Structure 1
Amino acid sequence: MTSPHPLDRLTADEITAARALLAQQGLVGPDTRFPYLALEEPSKDAVLNHKPGDPIDRRVRAILLDVHTGASRDVLASLTRQAIDRDTALDPVRDGQPPILLEEFMAVDEIVKADPEWRAAIERRGITDIDLVRPCPLSAGEFGIEGEAGRRLLRALSFVANRPDDHCWAHPIDGLVAYVDLIEKRVVRLIDHADLPIPAEEGNFDKPESLRRTLRPIHITQPEGPSFTVNGDEVTWEGWRFRIGFDAREGLTLHQISINDRPVIYRASVAEMVVPYADPSPVRFWQNYFDAGEYLLGQQANSLQLGCDCLGEIHYFDAVLADGDGNPREIPSAICMHEEDFGVLWKHTDIFTESRETRRQRRLVISFFVTVGNYDYGFYWYLYLDGTVQLETKATGVVFTSSYVPGSPYATQLAPGLGAPFHQHLFSARLDMMVDGVANAVDEVDVARVPVSADNPYGNAFTRSITRIGHESDGARDADASVGRVWQISSADRVNRLGEPTSYVLYPTQSPLLAADDTASISRRAAFATRSLWITRYDADERYSAGDLVNQHAGGAGLPSYVAADRELDGQDVVLWHTFGLTHFPRPEDWPVMPVDTCGFTLKPAGFFDRNPTLDVPESTAEHCVDSRTRASHCH
């Protein structure tokens, strides 16, 4: 039997026990809901010093909301000791609102449709069947609008379907937005700005008129089974070892990633993401969504399907989360893990010895998919044979639509009269580094041109410019493709055989950062997205890029407040926060469903190994290396 580990994911029984403990302590009443309940991970020191059989204090953190009064609490409780360690009343103006509950999304339809003014606006637009109107509940943000401070709000744009199975995204009811108070359960403000035409053409993608018949099946088989082993939440594969985690907010998390028993990353996750929109119109200026902090990525996870979401010899991990009532909810097959062939690993045909050698790359894929309203996102962590770590995010689903105003500088026309506002998808990866130990240092490395001189008479020289990041005040950095900027994370304690510190290099995404004006509300609330990289000293309480409670928070929390301490970084326990993403000017080809668009980053070993660590990878077997014309092997 597997020994308990401090990072073991919460079980259904533990979630049930957590709810019972909170109720026993008088913190749960008939109107109490659980926007968030999850494992409170022990400190890094406690985890690293843990030995099998050591006692474990299992603690949970719960955000509680009274849906009748709007009062909320932040509670830390020990299941082991049956004790409340912290109970803090939250101020919605100062602290922000708890994340949005699924039941609140569902309630918006009834609240909006009960509003006489909204119904009159719908009828004036020629819509007679209210049941076919789909109010879309969206996070409210924070804009200093009079009367909104302290209210728990959602804003609702609406769409209409031609019939129950018609996808409503093709028919936006533009120019109209309802502001909904979730506690009072009423529309507190209606903006009826313009009667814009409702696009008529349908955008249904799930019932095509015909299917191509030329694609032949691809079968991926591993007759001898996969190369990885799974022991509870721990996975080993080709020298790699790590632990699987799953959080209601972040979704998939990876812990204690090591290769050949040498640590690389202590904890890796997507700590936040934001989707800001560009349309400044009176009904859309507020559109920006924090899919992790407001909607909770983990709670939106899909159950994955073999042959559709994942292909090959698959190992699935189920996820267990707390629902809005604090009871356990299982998401079957929430995480998919499998191996993939990834082309040539290394190859050389030598002109002197006439040797011909080719080896194939392989990667381990750990992934999950979420659906957040109209968009779907896949998060794919890759581990490679050569020690490379990579994260790729995949954006697909349906773009958010509008009525198209001819000549609009803020939207693309997708179909006759149908627009798609410009927007961004910006992710923040939190990488708690541990390259050969907790003492690390970070250098910014640029390509540097060398001017013509006596030492460089022909002007061909170039070199590297290396800048050590000494303190958090210097740790907010920008990517720069013009100099090939990367960041090197080095061990302060270990050197390779050449006497150089062992290290990994972060190759960042070279893409636009947050495009909003510096004075915009979203620039305060998503300050993490204004820089490509932030470097902080490890603090167990600093988990989220935009702060603990993002929903309707005024901004300034998260990374700006973390780096204000200006702690020393050189040779310390450092955390890297990398912003990457997509700036989306939608195309007609993105309609009615968007082909996957990808972004991400790569971490590669640099002097971590003494030489190519894949020289021992065997050549491919003949049965997997066949010419379809001759059926003969070419791998000798």
Structure 2
Amino acid sequence: MAPVAEIPQTTEAHVPATATGALKTPRVGATLASHPLDPLSPDEIAAVSLAIRKYVAKETTIKAVKFITSSIIPPPKKDVLAILGIPSEPGKAPGVPKEYSRRGEVDFIDLVTGDAHNVNLTFKGSEWIIDTIEQLPEGTQPQISVEELIAAEQAIRDDPRVQALAKDVGILPEQIHADGWSIGYDDRFPKSVRVQQGLLFARFSKHDNLYAHPMDFIPVLDSNSMKVIHVDFPPHRDASSKLSTESTAPPPISEDPVTASKRDRIAPPKEAFDFLPDLIAQKEGESYKIRNDIKPLHVVQPEGVSFKIKGHELEWQKWKMHIAFSHREGIAISTITYNDNGEVRPIFYRLSLAEMVVPYAAPEFPHPRKFAFDAGEYGMGTMANDLTLGCDCLGQIHYLPGAFIGHDGSAIQIKNAICIHEEDAGLLWKHTDYRPGGRSQAARSRRLVVSMCCTLANYEYIWNYFFYQDGSIEFEIRLTGILQVYVKNPTEPNPFGTTVAPQINAHYHQHLFSLRVDPMVDGLNNSVIESDVIPLPNAPTGSVENFAGNAFIVQEKTLKVANEGARDFDYELDRRWRIVNPARTHYSSGAAPGYVIGMKGGATKLLARPDGWAARRAAFATKTLWVLPDKEGPNGGKVWPAGKYVPQTREEPEDSVGGWSRGAENIENDDILLFLTIGTTHIPRPEDWPVMPVDHLRVTFKPQSFFKMNPSLDVPTAKDPHSKAAFDDGVHDQHQNGANGGTCCGN
């Protein structure tokens, strides 16, 4: 290709309110990463984008670029383990460390042609060198950037057609607000056009809760040209629930959208429903008062925290791990080990939230386009909040920063992206010998918390990784924020949602999350055992084997090949799965050491039809568990369950769990990978409005035949000297030293 004289133009970065600032020029002498899994630093991001701009100017005809994503390409797992001194096989010494090169990859868009490109780079000497630059196939779209979402709102607000349609229902241009959403699925638009839809709301004052004023039409925007290219009008129902159109199918793109909807326009409701206290007080007057009967509660650690951290590597209570910011997954926790009486035992190579999908239930077009893949289409890290000390996390806090690439190649920085702290977690264990003169003993549980909060338009997701002193790990998702709503007629029935306030329809929907689990239980070669708890077969009540009719057993099988690794949860069988290392056995149980997965409260079935739009793009959500072989290539292993490039896919990509699971590759006693699907079906309540109280989802990983016995017997059982009776009235403190006169923790 003929070189061009100038470095290609870039669009200027817009820093979202969730971020802290931007770094455009790499600083001279900035230190390199100290760990092979460290994320790209702000200086590295700026240096990488500069190297790409120079290369593109010299070696291509591209005139203008829009950077979308940047990330590291990690070294192979065995190389990382050798560098860190972690054994990859039980009973064997760690491998010999090799030198490795820092590598990265970047996605950008050619703003002239709309083509997407992927670039791989290596840091050599003192600069980043481009290894490959690949134009992606037509229709392949990198994730939607936060800057595109911000720009989309202004582009929609400025569009004359949108302004005219808003004016028809009494809304001024400056009152128009739009949440940019992925288009989901809409084959009326060419694959080559990078599109998003705008869900519209009115805002009548600066900080007014705009979601209280949903509008009745949905523009579609070209994200590269920032031009509105179409407008859709959902049909509505009459009092008998009859739809205003003959079908829920999309109307032809050539048909006038207002005419196609066959219904009257609906003005957005005007009543304010705010969650900011000062705005509530303006509406409610003296009848609204902040509660004044809640006393202060402080988390105090007078001797400081119990964890140590160096860069991104943390040690706490026999645990050791690497914690990294990821623009897509939010938090990635790697090389998790536990020091078992002097033996460093590997447990998980990497844990992360790899994908999620939120399908909505309303069938009237264009509502079915609402099934956002919040990780693959937007990125959890790019939507992460800059956390506030004393609000998002309590106690003595350590924060890790995050950084992602802006459109112009700047590093957009989040100063406090990841929160790390300790919490009291109730009793760890306790027993009292109830006999006269018997003793009791109890230990309180302390847990390490690694967390992040992400804002995805109306919703907030809080990701918590908990590590416990008994060798357990818990992944918790907390859901809050504001319901996604649409306007309805006052008399219109609502078969697919809840009317949470007058004329405000909150559609039923699901949140389905894919947790990526890369295990290394006592080494990289692992198996998965499926266990069902069943009544003793062929042994009815009154039989010789089961006279009382009470017997039940655990029936187990080891999953052997990939095409049998896609599994469903079964409540009736109390099904569970266990990751084991068959190269070892427990001294007493005789079982292979392992970690059992607990997801009973979170196993949720995708309710969309198997051949529908959502299921065709989100095959990961059709099964509770996927067990796959993890064969690393030059750029790593299998990572993204719905494919690497998610926006505007129309079918499930081959590079996804569905494609990976079709063969008969071995998954027994091998390097394997698990994807767990957990979720919740949200039937909105009026109590979820105008902002939702937190809901919880949890997955646990508990040792089973991994330790010789309870590994937390050495946790101190000292009584907390700062605890005291709530009421000093001479009555409530009579048992403060325990039922038998000793301390509450031990006697």
For residues 637 and 587 of structure 2, the distance between their equivalents in structure 1, rounded to whole angstroms, comes to 37
Question: Does 2:434 align with 1:351?
Answer: yes
Match of 1:402 in 2: 486
Partner secondary structure for residue 484 of structure 1 = coil
Q: Which moved more, 1:418-427 or 1:75-84?
A: 75-84
For residues 473 and 213 of structure 1, the distance between their equivalents in structure 2, rounded to whole angstroms, comes to 59
Identity of aligned residues (%): 35
Return closer, same or farther for 1:333/1:107 CA change in 2, 3 Å cut-off.
closer
Question: Does 2:185 align with 1:142?
Answer: yes
Question: Does 2:224 align with 1:183?
Answer: yes
For residues 259 and 155 of structure 1, the distance between their equivalents in structure 2, rounded to whole angstroms, comes to 47
Work out which of the residue numbers 519, 523, 528 in structure 1 matches 2:620: 528
Work out which of the residue numbers 463, 474, 479 in structure 1 matches 2:553: 463
Return closer, same or farther for 1:10/1:116 CA change in 2, 3 Å cut-off.
closer
Q: Tell me if structure 1 keeps the 8 A contact 2:578–2:594.
A: yes
How far did residue 524 of structure 1 move? 1.2
Alignment of 1:261-276 (within 5 A): 261-276=344-359
Match of 2:511 in 1: 425
Summarize deviations over 1:322-368 as a string: whole Å, max 9, x none.
Answer: 22222222211111111111111111111356011111111100001
Q: Tell me if structure 2 keeps the 8 A contact 1:63–1:73.
A: yes
Question: Does 2:122 align with 1:31?
Answer: no
Q: TM-score, normalised by structure 2?
A: 0.82
How far did residue 135 of structure 1 move? 2.4
Q: Tell me if structure 1 keeps the 8 A contact 2:602–2:697.
A: no
Work out which of the residue numbers 521, 538, 545 in structure 2 matches 1:435: 521
For residues 362 and 161 of structure 1, the distance between their equivalents in structure 2, rounded to whole angstroms, comes to 45
For residues 446 and 367 of structure 1, the distance between their equivalents in structure 2, rounded to whole angstroms, comes to 33
Partner secondary structure for residue 215 of structure 2 = strand
For residues 419 and 33 of structure 2, the distance between their equivalents in structure 1, rounded to whole angstroms, comes to 24
Comparing both structures, which one devotes a greater share of its residues to strand?
A: 1
Match of 1:227 in 2: 306
For residues 279 and 622 of structure 1, the distance between their equivalents in structure 2, rounded to whole angstroms, comes to 53
Q: Which moved more, 1:475-484 or 1:211-220?
A: 475-484
Q: What number of residue pairs does the alignment pair up?
A: 631
Q: Which runs of 5+ in 1 are unaligned?
A: none
Q: Tell me if structure 1 keeps the 8 A contact 2:595–2:704.
A: yes
Summarize deviations over 1:162-211 as a string: whole Å, max 9, x none.
Answer: 2222111000012x111112234322222233423422221111024220
Match of 1:566 in 2: 664
Return closer, same or farther for 1:135/1:16 CA change in 2, 3 Å cut-off.
closer
Question: Does 2:422 align with 1:339?
Answer: yes
Match of 2:456 in 1: 372
Match of 1:172 in 2: 214
Summarize deviations over 1:534-592 as a string: whole Å, max 9, x none.
Answer: 01111333111111000111222211111123310110111110011121111111111
Work out which of the residue numbers 35, 41, 49 in structure 2 matches 1:5: 35
Work out which of the residue numbers 116, 133, 139 in structure 1 matches 2:176: 133
Match of 2:202 in 1: 160
How far did residue 2 of structure 1 move? 11
| Superposition RMSD in Å | 1.9
Question: Does 2:291 align with 1:248?
Answer: no
For residues 4 and 359 of structure 1, the distance between their equivalents in structure 2, rounded to whole angstroms, comes to 37
Return closer, same or farther for 1:149/1:51 CA change in 2, 3 Å cut-off.
closer
Match of 2:88 in 1: none
For residues 399 and 448 of structure 2, the distance between their equivalents in structure 1, rounded to whole angstroms, comes to 13
For residues 113 and 223 of structure 1, the distance between their equivalents in structure 2, rounded to whole angstroms, comes to 53
Return closer, same or farther for 1:169/1:2 CA change in 2, 3 Å cut-off.
closer
Work out which of the residue numbers 129, 149, 153 in structure 2 matches 1:109: 153
For residues 692 and 157 of structure 2, the distance between their equivalents in structure 1, rounded to whole angstroms, comes to 30
Partner secondary structure for residue 24 of structure 1 = helix
Match of 2:725 in 1: 627
Q: Which runs of 5+ in 2 are unaligned?
A: 1-30, 86-96, 234-260, 282-288, 738-742
Match of 2:593 in 1: 502
Match of 2:646 in 1: 550
How far did residue 512 of structure 1 move? 2.4
Question: Does 2:79 align with 1:50?
Answer: no
For residues 562 and 177 of structure 1, the distance between their equivalents in structure 2, rounded to whole angstroms, comes to 36
Q: Tell me if structure 1 keeps the 8 A contact 2:50–2:409.
A: no
Q: TM-score, normalised by structure 1?
A: 0.95
Match of 1:65 in 2: 109
Aligned AA (1:215): I
For residues 511 and 503 of structure 1, the distance between their equivalents in structure 2, rounded to whole angstroms, comes to 21
How far did residue 56 of structure 1 move? 2.6
Structure (1 or 2) with the larger CA radius of gyration: 2
For residues 51 and 583 of structure 1, the distance between their equivalents in structure 2, rounded to whole angstroms, comes to 42
Q: Tell me if structure 2 keeps the 8 A contact 1:369–1:378.
A: yes
How far did residue 625 of structure 1 move? 4.1
Match of 2:11 in 1: none
Question: Does 2:405 align with 1:322?
Answer: yes
Question: Does 2:679 align with 1:581?
Answer: yes
Partner secondary structure for residue 584 of structure 2 = strand
Partner secondary structure for residue 506 of structure 2 = strand
For residues 51 and 185 of structure 1, the distance between their equivalents in structure 2, rounded to whole angstroms, comes to 47
For residues 104 and 426 of structure 2, the distance between their equivalents in structure 1, rounded to whole angstroms, comes to 43
Q: Tell me if structure 1 keeps the 8 A contact 2:621–2:677.
A: yes
Q: Tell me if structure 2 keeps the 8 A contact 1:481–1:510.
A: no
How far did residue 627 of structure 1 move? 2.7
Aligned AA (2:184): G
Alignment of 1:583-602 (within 5 A): 583-602=681-700
For residues 488 and 683 of structure 2, the distance between their equivalents in structure 1, rounded to whole angstroms, comes to 14
